[in-house]
A and B are shown apart, each in its own frame.
Chain A
Amino acid sequence: MSARDEVGFHAQQHARWHWGEFVFWIAALACAFVFPSRYLIMTDIVRLALFALSLDLILGYAGIVSLGHAAFFGVGAYAAGLLSLHGIITEPVIALIVAGLAAMLLGFATSFLVIRGVDLTRLMVTLGIALLLEALAERFSDITGGTDGLQGIEMQPILKIFAFDMFGKTGFFYSLIVLFLLFLLARRVVHSPFGLSLRAIKNNPLRAAAIGIPVNRRLIAIYTLAAFYAGIAGALFTQTTALASLDVFAFERSADLMLVLVIGGAGYLYGGLIGALVFRMLQEVFAAITPQYWQFWIGLVLVVIVLMGRARLHRWVLFLPNLIITQLAGRKAVVAVPEGESDG
């Protein structure tokens, strides 16, 4: 077997569906029936998971550090809100896609700014774009509703069949289905040759360019895709809460998102999903202890995680799941941060 075949073989092995993944999704679906009174927070988790998945695509796979990912979330949120408010597109699914495309357009336009320069410039540019959009949204308050946000959004039934109910049941299933579909797409993307080339770029852009990978074009592509995902997450936010206000662009949102991804682990698709779950749980616990000052504890978690080392943390967090998987399936666990990429 030549080296080339071997790479292909391993890539295919890696891309195969593992039964642990089925368990994960069945468990996610089961939650809907086990906790029927918690639809709102579960929807929130699903939304956050999708948003984290989006950041994972650029941070975990392509190595672009972004401090302003909320920009796309916000654009998606406002786009969905405005489409519904002015009755331009009333059907939620189409509005969702259009909102995602709006964010995608912005992602494509700004990707040219982001691929230039090193980490620090990227940080500044992404942060600057998010702040810029926040300032714009505040400036054009006649369109965005300013600090009050968009008010009076009324969602039509999904596909004209499933109406949103006040308990958030429809919203939850809707979000979960969207997450699952987009997850499938992301899974396909990261296991494709395209996804492999992204990892190569992340590990060493210079070497990747030397073996013929068009680095800039790949980065633009993944950044645009991630913007689409974030836009969808934002649109889901608006559609399930019937609310869009200035804080969709807030820096805290981008920073929290990083924490989500750090908790779950960047560089594998389930990182964002697990991170979203753990993050919301933490937030609930902290808010229960000190309602107003939960941010302190979130900050403490961040500091502790970084000081302990993210790689070590994941070995601990994933110790039990991995143990179960290796014991029962007798093979390497799928839910693990790939070696040597955990420091990205």
Chain B
Amino acid sequence: MTSVLTNLFDGVAYGMLLFVLACGLAVTLGLMNFVNLAHGAFAMAGGYICAVLVNQHGWPFFAGLPLAFVSAALIGVVLERLLYRHLYTRSHLDQVLFSVGLVFMSVAAVDYIMGSSRIFINLPHALEGQFDVFGVGIGRYRLMIVVICGLLTAALQLVLARTRFGSRLRAAVDDPRAASGLGINVPQVFAFTFAFGCGLAGLGGALSAEILGLDPYFPLKFMIYFLIVVTVGGASSITGPFLASLLLGVADVAGKYYVPKMGPFVIYTVMIVILLWRPNGLFGRTSAR
């Protein structure tokens, strides 16, 4: 029984991590309708920058995390202004080709600079090991992930639902022309959102070095996971991808623990079935955009 709860907890932590990694994609893919397969590259960038800062320059881990966010967001905003914005109106095929090209470049570039082996980030001692709560083993690091990601999710939900920026973003997504007619600077809103999503991915990348493993092939390995979160979760709200992430995290951890031989088989099958059953996602709007 307790191992079930421990697995459940691990699954939740994993799922929350996936959410932070993928929620930027939920905005670009789900709301802006841009197929960005290169989202994982931003996560990888954040992870590697954090690793270099912490391991080679001796920064404390908790100082490295915000920097992972900031640097990934900066890379995001530069790329958005230079490249991505030209492709918003292009066909999905163009977007796929473009972002796959970016993935290839990032994989080879990181391989060239940092080497192809998996890297770890030196953690402070306070985060190592686990403690028992009524017999349930809770990893400290995973607990931290749950706390950070939980707070982020709540903040995101508040920003989207309650702030002026949130309503601008929702307006810009629903009808860009009407929104710009009302004086909303739509490109700016999109650029900011894109950068913020990339920043979150960077933060997620830094956090995931311990759990998912960080190597140059990260963007390719986890691309399908991010896509699953967004397509299964739908993009009409933050809650959809959030629930989808939790579901995916728990299912993946449970699958690896209880039916290790089936590997990722279960996940892919479930994804295909859900997509066929509800093409707009499990929690998505029924009307196609």
Q: Could you tell me the distance between the alpha carbons of A138 and B262 in the complex, rounded to whole angstroms?
A: 9
Nearest-neighbour CB distance to chain A for B289, whole angstroms, equals: 9
B265 partner, pick from A136, A255, A299, beta carbons under 8 A = A136
Please judge, given known A-B contacts A135-B264, A293-B108, whether A121 and B231 are in contact too, CB under 8 Å.
yes
Nearest-neighbour CB distance to chain B for A98, whole angstroms, equals: 26
Q: Quick check: is A1 within 8 A (CB to CB) of the other chain?
A: no
Q: Quick check: is B44 within 8 A (CB to CB) of the other chain?
A: no
Determine whether the beta carbon of A121 is less than 8 Å from that of B92.
Answer: no
Nearest-neighbour CB distance to chain B for A312, whole angstroms, equals: 13
A297-335: contact bitstring with B at CB < 8 Å (1 yes, 0 no)?
011111101110010000000000000000000000000
Q: Could you tell me the distance between the alpha carbons of A299 and B102 in the complex, rounded to whole angstroms?
A: 6
Interface centre among A67, A255, A306 (most CB of B within 10 A): A306
Please judge, given known A-B contacts A127-B227, A307-B98, whether A295 and B104 are in contact too, CB under 8 Å.
yes
Please judge, given known A-B contacts A131-B268, A135-B264, whether A302 and B104 are in contact too, CB under 8 Å.
yes
The interface residues of chain A lying within 8 Å CB-to-CB of B264 are: 131, 135
B105 partner, pick from A119, A132, A300, beta carbons under 8 A = A300
Please judge, given known A-B contacts A117-B275, A262-B97, A306-B101, whether A296 and B92 are in contact too, CB under 8 Å.
no
The interface residues of chain A lying within 8 Å CB-to-CB of B271 are: 124, 128
The interface residues of chain B lying within 8 Å CB-to-CB of A300 are: 101, 105
Q: Could you tell me the distance between the alpha carbons of A307 and B264 in the complex, rounded to whole angstroms?
A: 35
The interface residues of chain A lying within 8 Å CB-to-CB of B107 are: 295-296, 299
Interface size counted on chain A using CB atoms at 8 A = 45
Q: Quick check: is A116 within 8 A (CB to CB) of the other chain?
A: yes
B100 to chain A: closest residue by CB: A255
Determine whether the beta carbon of A120 is less than 8 Å from that of B92.
Answer: yes
The interface residues of chain B lying within 8 Å CB-to-CB of A343 are: 91
B288 to chain A: closest residue by CB: A118
The interface residues of chain B lying within 8 Å CB-to-CB of A201 are: none
A273-304: contact bitstring with B at CB < 8 Å (1 yes, 0 no)?
00000000000000000001111101111110
Q: Quick check: is B148 within 8 A (CB to CB) of the other chain?
A: no
The interface residues of chain B lying within 8 Å CB-to-CB of A138 are: 263
Determine whether the beta carbon of A125 is less than 8 Å from that of B97.
Answer: no
Nearest-neighbour CB distance to chain B for A126, whole angstroms, equals: 10
Q: Quick check: is A259 within 8 A (CB to CB) of the other chain?
A: yes
Determine whether the beta carbon of A139 is less than 8 Å from that of B263.
Answer: yes
Q: Could you tell me the distance between the alpha carbons of A344 and B102 in the complex, rounded to whole angstroms?
A: 21
Give residues 67-125 of A contacting B (CB, 8 Å): 67, 113, 116-121, 123-125
Determine whether the beta carbon of A344 is less than 8 Å from that of B97.
Answer: no
A132 partner, pick from B35, B109, B272, beta carbons under 8 A = B272
Q: Quick check: is B78 within 8 A (CB to CB) of the other chain?
A: no
Q: Quick check: is B1 within 8 A (CB to CB) of the other chain?
A: no
Determine whether the beta carbon of A120 is less than 8 Å from that of B91.
Answer: no
Interface size counted on chain B using CB atoms at 8 A = 44
The interface residues of chain B lying within 8 Å CB-to-CB of A262 are: 97
Give residues 83-115 of B contacting A (CB, 8 Å): 83, 86-87, 90-94, 96-98, 100-109, 111-112
Determine whether the beta carbon of A344 is less than 8 Å from that of B91.
Answer: yes
Please judge, given known A-B contacts A124-B271, A135-B265, whether A113 and B83 are in contact too, CB under 8 Å.
no
Determine whether the beta carbon of A121 is less than 8 Å from that of B224.
Answer: no
Q: Quick check: is B126 within 8 A (CB to CB) of the other chain?
A: no
Q: Quick check: is B57 within 8 A (CB to CB) of the other chain?
A: no
Determine whether the beta carbon of A303 is less than 8 Å from that of B101.
Answer: yes
Nearest-neighbour CB distance to chain B for A91, whole angstroms, equals: 34
Q: Could you tell me the distance between the alpha carbons of A245 and B109 in the complex, rounded to whole angstroms?
A: 26
Determine whether the beta carbon of A299 is less than 8 Å from that of B288.
Answer: no
Known: A116-B276, A139-B261, A303-B83. 15 other contacts (CB 8 A): A116-B279, A117-B279, A121-B231, A121-B275, A123-B96, A124-B227, A124-B275, A128-B271, A135-B268, A251-B223, A258-B96, A299-B101, A299-B106, A302-B101, A343-B91
Can you name 26 A-B residue pairings with CB atoms under 8 Å? A121-B279, A123-B35, A123-B96, A124-B271, A125-B276, A132-B272, A135-B263, A136-B265, A139-B263, A251-B223, A259-B101, A293-B108, A293-B112, A294-B108, A295-B107, A299-B107, A300-B105, A302-B104, A303-B98, A303-B101, A303-B102, A303-B105, A306-B94, A306-B98, A343-B91, A344-B91
B→A interface (CB under 8 Å): 29, 35, 83, 86-87, 90-94, 96-98, 100-109, 111-112, 220, 223-224, 227-228, 231, 261-265, 268-269, 271-272, 275-276, 279, 288
Return the 7 tightest CB-CB contacts between A and B, nearest first. A302-B101, A299-B104, A296-B108, A299-B105, A303-B101, A117-B279, A306-B98
